[in-house]
Structure 1
Amino acid sequence: MDVGYLSFHDEIPIFSSLLRELHINVSSLTECLYLLDGRLNQLRIFYVNIKIIHHIAPNIDMKKKLDNLRCFSLISKNETFCYSQSIVPLLHRMSNLKRLDLYLIIDENKFIDGNCLNNDIINHLPRLNHFIFNIQSRIYEYNQTDIRSNEDIQITFKTFPNHKVISCVDFFPEQNFARCHYYSYPYTMENYDKISNNFPGGLFKCVREISLFDERPFQHEFFIKISEAFPFLQKLTLENFQSQNKKSDEDDQHLSIIEYSYLTELRLLDVHDDYIEQFLFHSKSVLPNNISLSVQYDFLKRVTNHFTREQTRINSAKIKHVFLAGPGQHHLSKDFYQYFPNLQSYCFSLIT
């Protein structure tokens, strides 16, 4: 069992005729369905975070109505191939639902757009008056000529009442998938994953954790946009191996310096050197004290010029914990410890 996710079997005696509200993390859809098989027959509010959404086991009754349920929130941060086979039938059992929150990453052979949400979900929930969603729909091995534009996707949400819907469409040829990401706005989740250069902007005061990913380079202006959109950002993960457009040192002096006032954790394990510079150069970024950094050791050594570079010294001095990854164990030199004077802990992780 993974920490934070419960895993159990249907024979475990979990029954209550009094429980009205439940918030729980479970390892798979199966555990969620066991909890909805009648053993919690007065449940009205159900918030569930599911690690894996898979096909429904044949021994589970998917016809039994969940008439008492009024509020349902489903979060799953891992990709699912079972939207049509598992999620849609589950929601059809909740005919009296008044509020629905969905956070999903869906892999189908088509984009799940606003028309799909209407036909698959909304039309089957006549009492629904509050629908919050954050959905990534992905297609692998796509033909770009067959993929609809963001404008096409927006048209499918024209009939959605009460909410502004933000969307963007991305193509990632190296990993061979296309993605349509859309969400109701204002955004209410605490995390925002896989932000690309197509990020439409906005203000996300609830968000504390983000990840950035693209196969095109992120420029300095992109990070300005990110810092303005997520003013209370605490954790940032970046994945991008594309070099930034090179600027001279003189050009760097004219860049707006970005301040990350609340950042506590910075993960730069899968990045080009330029993005380590982006955060460690004091001419580009101001990091807060006591930050944790995850980075490949050889990359860090190269960017800091063997822990002697002045441009990266100020922000490096603010690092409190460092997670170093790389092939083989490394001896940390005296220069390393002097370069990170406030370091309280470090660890190595071997990668091949």
Structure 2
Amino acid sequence: MKRNTLKIIIASTLLSSASYADISNITPASTASLSQIASSLSHSVSNVDNNINVETTTSNIINTADLKKDIKEDAEKFDLQVDADAAEILQAFSGGEGSGEITEGIKGLKENINTDKFGDDHVATLDQDTIEYDTGWMTLTKVTSYDSKTYSSSNDVFDSSATQQARGRVYVNFKLQEISADVYAKITRTGGTEKYYTYNSGTASFNSVPIVAKTVKRFDLTEGQTDHDMFDGAQDTMLASNTTLQSSEFSTTQEMIDLYNHDTSDSDAESAIFTYGKFTTATAASVGLGSMAFEAGHAPDGANEATFAGTVERLEAEATLVGKAMK
């Protein structure tokens, strides 16, 4: 996934059974625990000459204690390394009920994909060896805290009366060690109308499991127009602290404020929206978890960094999901 893409937060559950089903089987994280999801799965994966095939099997309860063993077996099967740190985090992840549990649980996972191997014109191979993880359309929820940071409870950026939605489709080809994503969003700014955005992340490679990928992007005021988020790296929030923004080697702090400011009394305000997503899957047979975040601020003309940071609003969504082998 290229660095300048929306961040889909999708993390693998600690399930060692195969988990390929249709979008209708996606379960929001706030309505079911991972143990409940595990006991309801009824699909498995077989591998012949590195070709991933979906086969329906009887329902069974998954023993999450086997996760590390399954990761090791997949690493050997696909000639990959084991990301021990990621495996430890996923092994300890309980994934209980409640909004934000997934987002918080996978926060510590470090990205381990290679975004430089393929050129911008490389087209991902989407064939029978590719597993698609689809969040389906998720309704975004306003949050006022994340990672020890506080976000505004005002509704000056995102229209509270509108249904804000996002969707992520991640494609993983274990045989070719390729990963890419399509991202979609329906966002209504306060005082505006719904605008639709979509983009493809580009293709990245990976050489270890669990796979951990992130993507960031900027949604401009013009419908459908996306661009580089302009922050350094792939940050999961605009805020470095409650009073400061993340650093940028591309723009000054004032330029970043203007870019993401939605107060139209400031003639320099561009009303852009920062977006973030994350994906991880432990093995070719693991259930996924997904989350997205959207942020922007609303400060009067002349506001300093601390004032603007205090106006930043954040929307999130997360979901458990299963993968489906493409045909």
Normalised-by-shorter TM-score class:
under 0.3
TM-score, with structure 1 as normaliser? 0.25
- Structure with greater helix percent: 1
Larger RCO: Structure 1 or Structure 2 (Cα < 8 Å, ≥ 6 residues apart)? Answer: 2
